[in-house]
Structure 1
Amino acid sequence: MDKLREMEIFVAVVDQGGFTGASNKLGLSTAAVSRAINSLEASIGVQLLARTTRTVRATDAGMAYLDACRKVLDVITDAEANIAADQLNPVGTLTISAPVLFGQRYVAPLVNAFVLRYQDVDVNAVYVDRPTRLLEEGVDIAIRIGHLGDSSIFAVPLGFVRRRAYGAPAYLAARGEPVRPKDLLGHDCVSCTGVSLPLEWVFSERGARVPVRLRPRMIVDLIPAAVLAAVDGVGITQLLSYQAAPEVRDGSLRPVLSAFEPEPIPVSLLHVERRGASGKIRAFVEFVSETLRQNLQDIEATAARSSL
């Protein structure tokens, strides 16, 4: 039995005036209460209780120890109450990071709703297209698209995105739809440096990596610019599935070469605390996780329908 439990039993014995009263209060047998007191006295090396056949009272040493026990147990009780209150009514400043476009489309609306729900939490939202270092940069929560390698970070899996090639229906009708990755050599292509190497797109066939060397008609460094160019019929582009999701949904872009897509890329919610996470972190994780999972599932379902 741990020391804190023994201290709790000792206080109960004194308060209840005996072993039987303490056992009734704590739901223990009188034998268990007696063993706890014996263990406590043995560990301290003094007699805490004077026992007769009719009475049990604290010794002088026991009275001094009783006061110390009450203080320790009160501190623990207060700490647990504060933690419980923090979980129900989170407070403080929460720093969140996410990729720019994913954050704009899927995270920012949830952050806004979270702030309206939890009036005592202030949010610092950082949208950057690079992995943030949580501990070094003071970030509480990060949405990460990609494989993880930091064992000090705790990850909540949200789903996957895929790297896909897309073309506008009018462009594909005029130029034909590529059947194999190498067919892209006969097409105009729009490369985005933030998604893939501008001169090489990677596909997969039977688990093997299939790179295609390109001479792009256009190279851009902004994802929305690549999306717009593809929608306007400049050429085929390769993007992450969430980046083209609205255009796939409204029919202005269509996935191509779906049978040759590379392995899916995981999307995770990262934070630096495990089960003892502060109230603000736990509240945000619970508030956004299911919605983000559903968003990612909807992206894949829409793409699957548009490929039929």
Structure 2
Amino acid sequence: MDRLQAMSMFVKVVEVGSFSAASKDLNVPLPTLSRKIAEFENQLGVRLLHRTTRKLSLTDSGSDYIDACKRILEQVEEAEGRAKGEYLEPKGDLVITAPIMFGRLHVLPIIIEFLSLYPNINVQLLLSDRNMDLFEDDVDMAIRIGQLPDSTMIGTQVGSMRVVTCASQLFLSGQPELQSPYDLTQRSCILLNTAKTIPYWRYYLPSSGLTVHIDVLPRLTVNDSDSAVKAAVKGVGITQQLHYQVQDLIDKGDLKVILHEFEPDKVPVHLLHKTRKYLPQKMKVFLEFILPTLKKSISDLSVSN
């Protein structure tokens, strides 16, 4: 049996959480994959995986062995990369993903400047508000806004983002001034409803030091931030957004931040990639380039209105 192939199959099954998903990713028939893993376990003389109809989990031996497999596969990948020359000089293709609006405003300009300095590197920028899987979608690096789940991937925080509540002056001029977040229950609101949003708005109460959840009654519900922001500009109601999504409109006076003294904790922004070491030069130089630039861009957002 090809031991490296078996290790790769074992790691893939664990990463995606099922034999069927790993079968699709590896383009290997499910019975073949199951047989290969069973043969691998027989060769090692230990059980690596607990299999039930509903759940797949690592045994104690499997938990110890998975880390060793990953290290070995990384070393093999490094050796192959050296043979190709990509660990000696920055060259090759990079696949980067980021949220649509944030990527367009804050990541694309950095990539354009980066490409002007490294003519032998090509970048594919995938803008999506869906959190793409770095393994399944073959992505080198992701920019993520929000708390990261526990994983084996490497996250580097580059800043944090304010969560602001805002409305147009047209809307606010016809309403009594809001004194607290609880007043929102009596006002027209624009709710964002996506797979990553929560059905309430969070606020911090300075008087008690508590964070509260306000169940707003939406006059309008949409599934993308751009539509919510446009509706707010037209005076439909109040919306809560990440600061970068409304900064330009606030600067131009089309929207006004309200309840700023009750803003909840800032949301972290991370760069996420798959491996801690044995990075090819193209990844090393990109990390070194984007880290300080993106940190400054996010920091500038934090100090603006």
Q: Same fold (TM over 0.5)?
A: yes
Q: Is the Cα contact below 8 Å between 2:86 and 2:92 reproduced in 1?
A: no
How big is the shift at 1:185?
Answer: 2.1
Q: Is the Cα contact below 8 Å between 2:188 and 2:237 reproduced in 1?
A: yes
Alignment-derived partner of residue 226 in structure 1 = 228
Q: Is the Cα contact below 8 Å between 2:87 and 2:279 reproduced in 1?
A: no
Instruction: Go from structure 1 to structure 2 and tell me whether the alpha carbon gap of 1:249 and 1:217 turns closer, same or farther (over 3 Å shift).
Output: same
Kindly provide the CA deviation profile for residues 144-202 of structure 1, in whole angstroms up to 9, marking residues without a partner as x: 1111224421122110012221111232222133120111122211111147445x322
Is 1:127 equivalent to 2:127 in the alignment?
yes
Is 1:276 equivalent to 2:278 in the alignment?
yes
How big is the shift at 1:207?
Answer: 4.2
Kindly provide the CA deviation profile for residues 208-236 of structure 1, in whole angstroms up to 9, marking residues without a partner as x: 33122222111111211111111121111
Alignment-derived partner of residue 146 in structure 2 = 146
Alignment-derived partner of residue 9 in structure 1 = none
Instruction: Go from structure 1 to structure 2 and tell me whether the alpha carbon gap of 1:233 and 1:123 turns closer, same or farther (over 3 Å shift).
Output: same
Alignment-derived partner of residue 93 in structure 1 = 93
Alignment-derived partner of residue 302 in structure 2 = 300
Equivalent residue of 1:217, what SS?
strand
Distance 1:278 1:288 in 2: 16
Distance 1:127 1:177 in 2: 38
Alignment-derived partner of residue 40 in structure 1 = none
Equivalent residue of 2:135, what SS?
helix
Alignment-derived partner of residue 167 in structure 2 = 167
Q: Is the Cα contact below 8 Å between 2:97 and 2:132 reproduced in 1?
A: yes
Equivalent residue of 2:289, what SS?
helix
Alignment-derived partner of residue 156 in structure 1 = 156
Across the aligned residues of Structure 1 and Structure 2, the Cα RMSD in angstroms comes to 2.2
Q: What is the count of residue pairs matched by the alignment? A: 221
Equivalent residue of 1:138, what SS?
coil
Kindly provide the CA deviation profile for residues 69-102 of structure 1, in whole angstroms up to 9, marking residues without a partner as x: xxxxxxxxxx8xx69x857841111010111111
Alignment-derived partner of residue 264 in structure 1 = 266
Map of 1:173-212 to 2, 5 A cutoff?
173-194=173-194, 196-198=197-199, 200-205=200-205, 206-212=208-214
Q: Is the Cα contact below 8 Å between 2:96 and 2:125 reproduced in 1?
A: yes
Q: Is the Cα contact below 8 Å between 1:87 and 1:282 reproduced in 2?
A: no
In structure 1, the gaps of 5 or more residues are 1-78, 304-308
Alignment-derived partner of residue 111 in structure 2 = 111
Map of 1:56-71 to 2, 5 A cutoff?
none
Equivalent residue of 1:105, what SS?
helix
Q: In structure 2, give the amino acid aligned to 1:185.
A: T
Q: Is the Cα contact below 8 Å between 1:87 and 1:283 reproduced in 2?
A: no
Map of 1:4-83 to 2, 5 A cutoff?
none
Equivalent residue of 1:135, what SS?
coil
Distance 1:196 1:165 in 2: 15
Alignment-derived partner of residue 24 in structure 1 = none
Distance 1:277 1:117 in 2: 19
Alignment-derived partner of residue 248 in structure 1 = 250
Structure with more helix by fraction: 1
Instruction: Go from structure 1 to structure 2 and tell me whether the alpha carbon gap of 1:274 and 1:197 turns closer, same or farther (over 3 Å shift).
Output: closer
Q: Is the Cα contact below 8 Å between 1:201 and 1:213 reproduced in 2?
A: yes
Distance 1:252 1:262 in 2: 23
Q: In structure 2, give the amino acid aligned to 1:242.
A: Y
Distance 2:282 2:171 in 1: 48
Structure index of larger Rg: 1
Deviates more, 1:87-96 or 1:154-163: 87-96
Residue identity over aligned pairs, in percent, reads 35
How big is the shift at 1:259?
Answer: 2.0
In structure 2, the gaps of 5 or more residues are 1-78
Distance 2:115 2:146 in 1: 27
Instruction: Go from structure 1 to structure 2 and tell me whether the alpha carbon gap of 1:113 and 1:88 turns closer, same or farther (over 3 Å shift).
Output: farther
